[in-house]
Chains A and B, each alone.
Chain A
Amino acid sequence: MEAVVFIFSLLDCCALIFLSVYFIITLSDLECDYINARSCCSKLNKWVIPEMIGHSIVTVLMLVSLHWFIFLLNLPVVTWNIYRFIMVPSGNMGVFDPTEIHNRGQLKSHMKEAMIKLGFHLLCFFMYLYSMILALIND
């Protein structure tokens, strides 16, 4: 059972890593002027909710399977994701707003955020991998 939980988390984590990489690529495309703000933001906004859900599922799974440490590790990031989503001002077109993204260094902060998330997911990935192997061995 334990192994199944971690295999699922591993897969989910992989997806999140890919998503982070996708965010970074798209944002840097915008930075380099390969795409315009409108298409960049609509691309990214599409993935904000999947990312949030994907991450929440793992976190909840960890809580359910009573892996406290991993749960607590994930909790701040999940909270941040949800907070960011909820706090979008009513007039904006999502977390990434094409009219704002070039202002006040938002692009840079989005980039930084995506990088940090990538690092975090990589860390989680190895943690799940280790836990999974451990669980498989124990079985």
Chain B
Amino acid sequence: MSQPGTPGAPAGLQAHNGAASASGAPYSNGPVPSAMMSSHIAVNQGYNSQLPGSYPHLLPAKTLNPASGQSSYHASQGSGQAFHRPPVASHPVGPSLHSGPVPQMLPPASQSPAAGPRLPGGFPPGSSPLPPVNWQHSPPSLAPQASHCPPAPSQPTVLGNTHLSAHHQYVPSGDPSLQNSCATSGSALPLRNPPLPTTFQPGAPPGPPPAGGPPLVRALAPQKASLRAAPQPSFNAAVNQEGITSNTNNGSMMVHSSYDAIEGGGFLATPQLATKNPQMSQGVGYAYPSLPPGYQNTTPPSSATGMPSSSLNYPSGPQAFPQTSLGANHLTASMSGLSLHPEGLRVVNLLQERKILPATPLQPPAPNLHEDIQKLNCNPELFRCTLTSIPQTQALLNKAKLPLGLLLHPFKDLVQLPVVTSSTIVRCRSCRTYINPFVSFLDQRRWKCNLCYRVNDVPEEFMYNPLTRVYGEPHRRPEVQNATIEFMAPSEYMLRPPQPPVYLFVFDVSHNAVETGYLNSVCQSLLDNLDLLPGNTRTKIGFITFDSTIHFYSLQEGLSQPQMLIISDIDDIFIPMPENLLVNLNESKELVQSLLKTLPQMFTKSLETQSALGPALQAAFKLMSPTGGRMSVFQTQLPTLGVGALKPREEPNQRTSAKEIHLTPSTDFYKKLALDCSGQQVAVDLFLLSGQYSDLASLGCISRYSAGSVYYYPSYHHQHNPVQVQKLQKELQRYLTRKIGFEAVMRIRCTKGLSIHTFHGNFFVRSTDLLSLPNVNPDAGYAVQMSVGESLTDTQLVSFQSALLYTSSKGERRIRVHTLCLPVVSTLNEVFLGADVQAISGLLANMAVDRSITASLSDARDALVNAVIDSLSAYRSSVLSNQQPGLMVPFSLRLFPLFVLALLKQKSFQTGTNARLDERIFAMCQVKNQPLVYLMLTTHPSLYRVDNLSDEGALNINDRTIPQPPVLQLSVENLSRDGAFLMDAGSVLMLWIGKNCAQNFLTQVLGVQNYASIPQTMTELPDLDTPESARTIAFISWLREQRPFFPILYIIRDESPMKANFLQNMVEDRTESALSYYEFLLHIQQQVNK
């Protein structure tokens, strides 16, 4: 929900904002649904006056607009956006709508004459997301355009209006919750607003509300009052009738007047339009009006109003876009790639080059694509392929011996996300692919799917580009300009009305659980974050506790205190009273709070040691199945009673032998229940806080197949293990407040010829390519393996598209689409050059987890080593012409052996006695569920020396100087006793202080007198007023800011218990059971050269 705005927003995205406002609010980039919706509502109805009331800050913005009435509604729109990304607000919103001020901000449009009118709308020049080059118009069409300039602008307005009306229809279908969102956004607004005013220069008279305004205001007032209560249907109804007509009129007027302002010229069409609009929009309702022939001729030209210069920019026909341009430029691109990165082509002899780890964090390789395409490509953090050059045939892939797969982080918290609201979502008719930047437009009316190559019609609505307010430019729509985009889904995408956010907490309260004292922390965290739970007025919450019996809590409104209901018949679970166990959080907040306050004390005297987890889960499932939602289960021991009871299986003596460990679940109960949950849209998150063996292998299934996540706190104790307590608190804080998507499904499509054959991650594969995700959270990553089915020889580009359909916590159905485009290559060398070593290691780790479960751990370890050996021998035998001694690897894979060695030493796959079974299985769960970045950090942490931080090469962000120490190789030889070293292992940071560490560092940074006085467990750096302290803290907080969760900092001295963990991460060193890096290289060399 809180997605900070970034000042340096990519132009493309900003453009969208503009677009949003232009089309009467269909777009916004904030990921926050609420604001969007609220603004929509406001817009559609012309409830301008309402907004000023609730958002005082907006007023100035409104007043700016010359076209007063309508403009105010835009202002409201703008506010919605500003809310999401404050800093950006300066361009996005304002421009298109408040076109008046905009032109002044923008330097003269250089791209095209047509851009004159268009640019102000959304493209801040210079940052224009798409250089015109890509979008080629056939020259003939340009000419007419020029001549018919005036009608063209008029066209858009018409469409804009119809658009609005179309848009309307969604509103009513949306859930009541939508309206609530008004409230939330409103409250948040003032905070974020300030940037807005900068955009709009005051001076314009405060506009009177539009014609339709006043009555609507009245309509709103009650609405507002009842915001927290059930929404009023009448509200929507009113909108439909009144809002449209008035709106449409105003809208057209507005646009025109603003045009005038920009260009200083009037439009003849204006008056006509104003009169025409209402009819058109009403008549058409959903779709765009069929245009009079005259328009059809004229409109396309409009985009190129007499632009001699632009014609240069559009050299060839439109369909040339992806394929031709790529084809033509492919060679040059790769050539330029060569000249730019001669490094990339180097062959590295690993045995000679010991220092292969780059000093800066490793960047994912960029696919060898034409830069115009690459610019549009999906962010590698969201969507990444192991081979950035896709081999043409399966034979070639087999030869390379590298795994082909995708790693996704689809629901990542994004700072910038264009959101599109449109009545029709344009998709391929045969493969249902969403239109994306890599489709080709054969002409204005047809586009060719880049996945199945079917030629589709461009729907009428899509011809109008709200971004530029020009008709006939489908290729400039935000959908075609952004590889990552979110659609507001209309009702066709709902099987049932969007579910309310439902949170159920299931607590273990057996004696063991009470001993650990976890209830205190959890209840406190919940109390603190109760208001931050993502949701709206429909949010429901419930609690269940269990030991050998199951306790429900009735939180009925009106009760003076929560009522506890105990069910002791655990063999045949029933729900004692279905009504009041899951209650509306807002209505019963006091009861919930009082329950959370008393809960930790209620069981302090409990002597019940048994745990009936299975029946409790069944009860919770029954309780939630009508709605779906999120179930958070806290468990502290092995379940011993009822269904799903487990037996201890771990035998400590056998830890050494990799064969005999139990990685597979011992019962299918949890799996079956998870699938039931998945079917009812319930996700189960498991928090395991246990000192002894709890058979996570079996318990974990409940989360794994219901798309939940597993958290594990070994040996949690409120007194003896304060570090775990802190960890739980921080992770709960994140867990409770992070974004959440309900009843989600994800589909990954790829270009014909490629097929996905294996999926990794927490979900249930419901049918061949449909992943069922009852909940989706922003911290979950997924991976898939692919094979090349048919040869890809006749294509140069392949695309992958993931589409995640979910219900937001505000009750909106949304689709988040990511599209990745990659080149196809025909030679082995190119395949190797394009290998993405991090992604490969990540995918291999996922595959190895599967292998250790289906076969055995030793098999998995062998498979990892063989993966390196096979690919490097393939490289040696097929690519290298002269057989040199040593271990020759392509530059792209130079870190491959290192990462695989790190994987072998990772908790999941290591041998030796020091890994407890549950910890190992938890590590495996993490491998499967973590996004690649964090997986790589846990596997191969970054090591920095921090006792001599300097400002040299430091980053400057917002006036903060962040030192950038070089990344060191993970070897003890890099440590020294007179230094301090920071290890960044993703979820933890470890600061190791050498025994002879400089006194300066101890006093200036740690704030202690000498080494001996460093406390045993220290997890925070004091905020001292010294430059050294400032630098260290700046660096650490910078590392923390990059991830959504809060990594705890452990300060480690020689005797600390964490020291073993620190040293264990020194993957290049030899350990009792594993090879050192050099030995590993020698081993590989021996095998490769065989």
Digitize A77-92: 1 where CB-to-B-CB distance is under 8 Å, 0 elsewhere: 0000000000001111
Tell me whether B768 and A31 are in contact (CB under 8 A): yes
Tell me whether A90 and B679 are in contact (CB under 8 A): no
* Smallest beta-carbon distance A139→chain B, Å: 51
CA distance A105 to B959 in the complex (A): 54
Interface with A: B266-274, B327-335, B759-767, which one? B759-767
Whether a CB of chain B sits under 8 angstroms from the CB of A17 is no
Tell me whether B758 and A37 are in contact (CB under 8 A): no
Whether a CB of chain A sits under 8 angstroms from the CB of B850 is yes
Digitize B638-678: 1 where CB-to-A-CB distance is under 8 Å, 0 elsewhere: 00000000000000000000000000111110011001000
**Given A103-B758, A103-B850, A104-B757, also A90-B767 (CB < 8 A):** no
CA distance A103 to B784 in the complex (A): 10
Tell me whether A93 and B765 are in contact (CB under 8 A): no
Determine the residue in chain B with the shortest Cβ distance to A91: B665
Whether a CB of chain A sits under 8 angstroms from the CB of B27 is no
Tell me whether B698 and A99 are in contact (CB under 8 A): no
CA distance A102 to B765 in the complex (A): 7
CA distance A30 to B665 in the complex (A): 26
**Given A90-B664, A91-B664, also A30-B759 (CB < 8 A):** no
Tell me whether B671 and A93 are in contact (CB under 8 A): yes
Residues 665-695 (chain B) with a chain A CB within 8 angstroms: 665-668, 671-672, 675, 679
Collect the chain A residues with CB atoms within 8 Å of residue B757's CB: 103-105
**Given A33-B767, A91-B701, A93-B668, also A98-B758 (CB < 8 A):** no
Collect the chain A residues with CB atoms within 8 Å of residue B665's CB: 89-91
**Given A38-B679, A103-B758, also A91-B768 (CB < 8 A):** no
Tell me whether A92 and B675 are in contact (CB under 8 A): no
Tell me whether A91 and B679 are in contact (CB under 8 A): no
Tell me whether B666 and A90 are in contact (CB under 8 A): yes
CA distance A107 to B664 in the complex (A): 21
Collect the chain B residues with CB atoms within 8 Å of residue A30's CB: 767-768
Collect the chain A residues with CB atoms within 8 Å of residue B705's CB: 99
Tell me whether B667 and A98 are in contact (CB under 8 A): no
Tell me whether B767 and A37 are in contact (CB under 8 A): yes
In the complex, which of the residues A36, A37, A38, A99 has the most CB atoms of chain B within 10 Å of its own CB atom? A99
**Given A90-B666, A91-B671, A99-B671, also A38-B759 (CB < 8 A):** no
Q: A93 touches which one: B672, B767, B768, B854 (CB < 8 A)?
A: B672
Tell me whether A99 and B672 are in contact (CB under 8 A): no
Tell me whether B671 and A36 are in contact (CB under 8 A): no
Tell me whether A38 and B768 are in contact (CB under 8 A): no
How many chain A residues have a CB neighbour from B under 8 Å? 20
Collect the chain B residues with CB atoms within 8 Å of residue A37's CB: 764-767
Tell me whether A102 and B768 are in contact (CB under 8 A): yes
* Smallest beta-carbon distance A67→chain B, Å: 39
CA distance A102 to B679 in the complex (A): 17
* Smallest beta-carbon distance B638→chain A, Å: 16
CA distance A98 to B676 in the complex (A): 12
Tell me whether A89 and B664 are in contact (CB under 8 A): yes
Residues 102-137 (chain A) with a chain B CB within 8 angstroms: 102-105, 107
Determine the residue in chain A with the shortest Cβ distance to B772: A36
Digitize B1058-1082: 1 where CB-to-A-CB distance is under 8 Å, 0 elsewhere: 0000000000000000000000000
Determine the residue in chain A with the shortest Cβ distance to B757: A105
Tell me whether B765 and A104 are in contact (CB under 8 A): no
Residues 747-792 (chain B) with a chain A CB within 8 angstroms: 757-759, 764-768, 770
CA distance A24 to B679 in the complex (A): 25
Tell me whether A99 and B675 are in contact (CB under 8 A): yes
Collect the chain B residues with CB atoms within 8 Å of residue A36's CB: 766-767
In the complex, which of the residues A33, A91, A103 has the most CB atoms of chain B within 10 Å of its own CB atom? A91
Tell me whether A99 and B758 are in contact (CB under 8 A): no
How many chain B residues have a CB neighbour from A under 8 Å? 24
CA distance A99 to B702 in the complex (A): 12
Residues 25-62 (chain A) with a chain B CB within 8 angstroms: 30-31, 33, 35-38
Collect the chain B residues with CB atoms within 8 Å of residue A105's CB: 757-758
Collect the chain A residues with CB atoms within 8 Å of residue B701's CB: 91
Determine the residue in chain B with the shortest Cβ distance to A108: B757
CA distance A96 to B698 in the complex (A): 19
* Smallest beta-carbon distance B803→chain A, Å: 16
Digitize B284-309: 1 where CB-to-A-CB distance is under 8 Å, 0 elsewhere: 00000000000000000000000000
**Given A90-B667, A91-B667, also A99-B765 (CB < 8 A):** yes
* Smallest beta-carbon distance A98→chain B, Å: 6
Collect the chain A residues with CB atoms within 8 Å of residue B679's CB: 38
* Smallest beta-carbon distance A54→chain B, Å: 25
* Smallest beta-carbon distance A41→chain B, Å: 10
Collect the chain B residues with CB atoms within 8 Å of residue A38's CB: 675, 679, 764, 766
Collect the chain B residues with CB atoms within 8 Å of residue A107's CB: 768
* Smallest beta-carbon distance B813→chain A, Å: 21
* Smallest beta-carbon distance A104→chain B, Å: 5
Tell me whether A91 and B672 are in contact (CB under 8 A): no
* Smallest beta-carbon distance A112→chain B, Å: 15
CA distance A91 to B705 in the complex (A): 13
Collect the chain B residues with CB atoms within 8 Å of residue A98's CB: 675, 764
CA distance A101 to B766 in the complex (A): 10
* Smallest beta-carbon distance A115→chain B, Å: 19
Determine the residue in chain A with the shortest Cβ distance to B758: A103
Collect the chain A residues with CB atoms within 8 Å of residue B698's CB: 91
Collect the chain A residues with CB atoms within 8 Å of residue B675's CB: 38, 98-99
Tell me whether A103 and B765 are in contact (CB under 8 A): yes
Determine the residue in chain A with the shortest Cβ distance to B767: A33
* Smallest beta-carbon distance A70→chain B, Å: 35
Determine the residue in chain B with the shortest Cβ distance to A102: B765
CA distance A115 to B934 in the complex (A): 44
Collect the chain B residues with CB atoms within 8 Å of residue A102's CB: 758-759, 765, 767-768
Tell me whether A104 and B768 are in contact (CB under 8 A): no
* Smallest beta-carbon distance B826→chain A, Å: 26
Collect the chain A residues with CB atoms within 8 Å of residue B767's CB: 30, 33, 35-37, 102
Tell me whether A91 and B668 are in contact (CB under 8 A): yes
* Smallest beta-carbon distance A106→chain B, Å: 9
CA distance A31 to B383 in the complex (A): 26
CA distance A35 to B759 in the complex (A): 19
Determine the residue in chain B with the shortest Cβ distance to A101: B765
CA distance A93 to B665 in the complex (A): 11
Q: A104 touches which one: B668, B697, B770, B850 (CB < 8 A)?
A: B850
In the complex, which of the residues B667, B672, B767 has the most CB atoms of chain A within 10 Å of its own CB atom? B767
Determine the residue in chain A with the shortest Cβ distance to B765: A102
* Smallest beta-carbon distance A88→chain B, Å: 9
CA distance A69 to B377 in the complex (A): 64
Digitize B821-864: 1 where CB-to-A-CB distance is under 8 Å, 0 elsewhere: 00000000000000000000000000000100010000000000
In the complex, which of the residues A30, A92, A103 has the most CB atoms of chain B within 10 Å of its own CB atom? A103
Digitize B697-713: 1 where CB-to-A-CB distance is under 8 Å, 0 elsewhere: 11001000100000000
Determine the residue in chain A with the shortest Cβ distance to B766: A36
Collect the chain A residues with CB atoms within 8 Å of residue B664's CB: 89-91
Determine the residue in chain B with the shortest Cβ distance to A94: B668
Collect the chain A residues with CB atoms within 8 Å of residue B666's CB: 90-91
Collect the chain B residues with CB atoms within 8 Å of residue A33's CB: 767-768, 770
CA distance A101 to B850 in the complex (A): 13
Determine the residue in chain B with the shortest Cβ distance to A103: B758
Determine the residue in chain B with the shortest Cβ distance to A29: B767
CA distance A47 to B683 in the complex (A): 31
Collect the chain B residues with CB atoms within 8 Å of residue A104's CB: 757-758, 850
Collect the chain B residues with CB atoms within 8 Å of residue A91's CB: 664-668, 671, 697-698, 701
Residues 607-633 (chain B) with a chain A CB within 8 angstroms: none
In order of increasing CB-CB distance, the 3 nearest A-B pairs are A91-B665, A102-B765, A33-B767
* Given A89-B665, A105-B758, 8 new contacts (CB under 8 A): A30-B767, A35-B767, A90-B665, A91-B666, A91-B671, A98-B675, A99-B764, A102-B765
What would be 20 A-B contacts, judged by CB atoms less than 8 Å apart?
A31-B768, A37-B765, A38-B679, A90-B665, A91-B664, A91-B666, A91-B667, A91-B671, A91-B701, A92-B668, A98-B764, A99-B671, A99-B675, A99-B705, A102-B767, A102-B768, A103-B757, A103-B759, A103-B765, A104-B850
